[in-house]
Chain A
Amino acid sequence: MARNLAAFLVLLLSISIYEAATIYEPISDSHRTVALELFAPVNGSYASLEDTYEALSIYEILAIEKKPDVSTTACKKVLEILGSSSPPKDVFYALKVNGKLKCKVDEKVLKDIASRLKATVSDASTLLDIYHSIGSLVLIKDQTSNVDVLLADGDGAFQSIKALSQSDGRWRYSSDNPESSTYAAGLALEAFAGVISLASSEIDQSKIDTVKNDILKLFDSIEKYDDGTFYFDEKIVGGHEHQGSLSTTASVVRGLTAFSAITSEKLNLPGDKILGLAKFFLGIGIPGDAKDFFNQIESLAFLENNKIATPLILSVPETVFSLTNQDLLKVKVNTVLGSAAPPLTVKLVRGFKIGAEDSSIFESKELQYDSKRGLHVFSFLSKHVDVGSYMFVFEMVLHGTDDDKVYATGGQIHVPIYVTGIIKVGSAEIAVLDSDLGSVETQKTLDLSGNNVVSLSANHLQKLRLSFQLTMPNDRAFKPHQAFLKLRHETKVEHIFVVGNTGQKFEIILDFLGLVEKFFYLSGRYDMELTVGDAVMENSFLRPLGHVELDLPVAPEKGSRPPAPPVDPYSRYGPKEEIIHFFRAPEKRPPQNLSLVFLTLTLLPLIGFLVGLLRLGVNLKNFPSSPVNALYAALFHVGIAAVLLLYVLFWLKLDLFTTLKALGLLGAFLMFVGHRTLSYLASTSAKLKSA
């Protein structure tokens, strides 16, 4: 049983290793559908000219027919920006949109802009200013031939860009910013290409060679995934404008292709890296963000037409084959944007079963080319192909003599292939055996493809034996991922056993004497369930086998108790029991009249007090007679009354803090007048005594 599990784990491991061999699909119609949604204009226009340009480029690259018409609003914006003295960045995107839409821009306006941009180039200090100015001049050059855009001091412009380069092939944004950036390197390369095309006299070849050197150094810092994907990433941490790896790679690709297009000599870059960059862009699938989508598609368009190496993508539309259908293996070879590849032959270098790498079942087979459908096909399903997971290794052989230099095929490509089939289940039987003699007590045959169930009974001195056979269509033994027997007691206590195999025969013997402890001495009805499953088995099943009545001995005092039934994990996400709040019922209040009677009763002692005072002949003769002191005495009494009133307010509506604040003020006042009044009274009484 343990060996079986170990083998299963090895199988899983080997599958997960080969999972790394990702197959890339070229750009297809699903991209076009998403593009229509992502680049749909809002109210007939886009938020900015940059967005407009990106949308127009995407429609052009993907050859989408149904493009929305935004030329009126966009051209109005273009003319507005070109007419005023806008910063180079705005001019750059305005000219890019103009290049797509052919707005009617006055040549005099372009002339003014050209002269202004030339001035910017000669005294710009930041890379972005130079990049946008040079880019704009190149766009003007492309759009009209009547404006003089040539740079008189091409070497100077070249030098001012080169001055910002770093020793590792990356660039700085400006001379006072020490951070170097890969994104900026892409911008710089594009600007170099612009300077070379704009220079009135030819740029010195040695300078161009130094830039080529920079490119090679930049490619030394390229990042890599295990499956041959290459990309660039920004290394700055905390930079003011951090770019992701997608936009960084897109920037480098844009610069690289622009530079390689303008220089006469070919750049000495390995085709693998170009193909790896293409794989990076294809590997992100269909981005949901317009900017990412634009970066992906534009970079792929540049890679498709670059002068270094055109990447070819091999894709296998279907990787799951059924032995019952006898389908053909189809392989497609396209460029990254999905157009046809040059004449070539696809070779199946080798094909082997996963888990048995040493023995390959195919070697050096050439696929037939179906020119009608543009597919390379191969009929590989035959008697000696088993059900299982395979790894096929393909290679592209180009027909043209110089094609090797123009195209990048990426050498050997690993593609996982799955062959499924219907597995025959036979000779299934279930039996109860006597333990000591091994003689069969009851035996029943099972039809595992049908629905028949058995009912058995056994005691703890007996054994249960289940056996069946699994065979592939070509009569070889099949070993599934899963073969489990489950016994479930009435009290929901479950026990799962792995069914082991020897060759074709799967067999499990449950010796109840040894399992008594494991079964928690629970006698009674056990439902049996058999699971046989595999990813490549078309008829995987989970079916009840019936039940067995077990008669087990009574549990001893210290016997282990069955575990609590597992809590349904989904109940954690279900609604919780409602919490009902009980409030204390208000106590019964006395009748209102009784309370009112007692209110008047409490007033009686007060009346008694007042009457008593009158009886005693209380007077106010001691009240100060001089006006000032009388005033103070009056204020003292008013103060006490005010504090008491404040207490009533505190009871009725104020909170403690407001009350204490007011009390502090009143208290200070009361202290003052009280002290004046009482000390005056004390002095008069002292005088009387002494007199």
Chain B
Amino acid sequence: MAKSTSKDAQDLLRALWSAYSATPTNLKIIDLYVIFAVFTALIQVVYMALVGSFPFNSFLSGVLSCVGTAVLAVCLRIQVNKENKEFKDLAPERAFADFVLCNLVLHLVIMNFLG
């Protein structure tokens, strides 16, 4: 029983992976970027859990920088994805321009908050 369960899980994952492989490369790049950002945030959270949150604004700005850019990347991904009919008329270059602008504004605030 247990064997079949693990096998099922393996099958499921494999199916998921093969389904994901069909995703266009540019979306994969964005996914990779989101994972990179989330992991960076996680490392900072672990650091905080270990040594305490003393320069709390620095911690917040570090984590929020990562989370914020990840959210923005997710938004970019939604807009760039061709499957989303909602954004059909929107050129991916325009979406990228928005992403860059939002990131620049976000990081201006982050830098101001960094202390």
| A interface residue numbers (CB < 8 A to B) | 587-590, 594-595, 598, 601-602, 604-606, 608-609, 612-613, 616-618, 640, 643-644, 647-648, 650-651, 656, 659, 663, 667, 674-675, 678-679, 681-682, 685
| Assembled-state Cα–Cα distance A341/B89 (Å) | 120
Given A618-B29, A640-B100, verify A656-B112 contact (CB < 8 Å): yes
Q: Please give me the residue from chain A that is nearest to B112 by CB atom.
A: A656
Are B114 and A651 in contact (CB-based, < 8 A)? yes
Are A682 and B111 in contact (CB-based, < 8 A)? no
| B interface residue numbers (CB < 8 A to A) | 25, 28-29, 32-33, 35-37, 39-40, 43-44, 46-47, 50-52, 54, 91-94, 96-97, 100, 104, 107-108, 111-112, 114
> Which secondary structure characterizes the binding site on chain B?
helix
Are A605 and B40 in contact (CB-based, < 8 A)? yes
- The one of B29, B51, B97, B107 in contact with A616, judged by C-beta atoms closer than 8 angstroms, is B29
| Assembled-state Cα–Cα distance A598/B104 (Å) | 26
> Which secondary structure characterizes the binding site on chain A?
helix
- The one of B36, B43, B111 in contact with A650, judged by C-beta atoms closer than 8 angstroms, is B111
Q: Using Cβ atoms and an 8 Å threshold, which residues of chain A touch B37?
A: 605
Are A650 and B39 in contact (CB-based, < 8 A)? no
Q: Using Cβ atoms and an 8 Å threshold, which residues of chain A touch B96?
A: 678
| B50 → A minimal CB distance (Å) | 7
Given A609-B32, A609-B36, verify A602-B43 contact (CB < 8 Å): yes
Q: Using Cβ atoms and an 8 Å threshold, which residues of chain B touch A618?
A: 25, 29
Are A602 and B25 in contact (CB-based, < 8 A)? no
| B46 → A minimal CB distance (Å) | 8
Q: Using Cβ atoms and an 8 Å threshold, which residues of chain B touch A650?
A: 108, 111-112
15 contacts between A and B (CB under 8 A): A598-B47, A601-B47, A606-B40, A609-B33, A609-B35, A612-B36, A616-B25, A616-B29, A617-B25, A618-B29, A640-B104, A647-B111, A674-B97, A678-B97, A682-B91
Q: Using Cβ atoms and an 8 Å threshold, which residues of chain A touch B51?
A: 590, 594-595
| Assembled-state Cα–Cα distance A439/B21 (Å) | 123
| A316 → B minimal CB distance (Å) | 81
Q: Please give me the residue from chain A that is nearest to B44 by CB atom.
A: A602
Are B32 and A613 in contact (CB-based, < 8 A)? yes
| B77 → A minimal CB distance (Å) | 15
| A615 → B minimal CB distance (Å) | 9
Q: Please give me the residue from chain A that is nearest to B103 by CB atom.
A: A640
Are B32 and A678 in contact (CB-based, < 8 A)? no
Are B100 and A605 in contact (CB-based, < 8 A)? no
| Assembled-state Cα–Cα distance A427/B82 (Å) | 122
| Assembled-state Cα–Cα distance A656/B112 (Å) | 8
Q: Please give me the residue from chain A that is nearest to B107 by CB atom.
A: A647
Q: Apart from A598-B46, A643-B104, A685-B92, what 16 extra A-B contacts exist at CB < 8 Å?
A: A588-B54, A594-B51, A598-B47, A601-B43, A602-B40, A605-B36, A605-B39, A605-B43, A609-B32, A616-B28, A616-B32, A618-B29, A647-B107, A648-B111, A656-B112, A674-B97
| Assembled-state Cα–Cα distance A602/B40 (Å) | 5
Q: Using Cβ atoms and an 8 Å threshold, which residues of chain B touch A682?
A: 91-94
Are A674 and B32 in contact (CB-based, < 8 A)? no
| Assembled-state Cα–Cα distance A613/B89 (Å) | 28
- The one of B36, B50, B91, B104 in contact with A606, judged by C-beta atoms closer than 8 angstroms, is B36
Q: Using Cβ atoms and an 8 Å threshold, which residues of chain B touch A613?
A: 29, 32
| Assembled-state Cα–Cα distance A361/B48 (Å) | 102
| Assembled-state Cα–Cα distance A667/B105 (Å) | 11
Are A647 and B94 in contact (CB-based, < 8 A)? no
Are A590 and B50 in contact (CB-based, < 8 A)? yes
Are B50 and A663 in contact (CB-based, < 8 A)? no
Q: Using Cβ atoms and an 8 Å threshold, which residues of chain A touch B111?
A: 647-648, 650-651
Q: Using Cβ atoms and an 8 Å threshold, which residues of chain A touch B46?
A: 598
Q: Please give me the residue from chain B that is nearest to A674 by CB atom.
A: B97
Q: Please give me the residue from chain A that is nearest to B33 by CB atom.
A: A609
| Assembled-state Cα–Cα distance A224/B29 (Å) | 102
| Assembled-state Cα–Cα distance A547/B32 (Å) | 97
Q: Using Cβ atoms and an 8 Å threshold, which residues of chain A touch B44?
A: 598, 602
- The one of A609, A640, A678 in contact with B94, judged by C-beta atoms closer than 8 angstroms, is A678
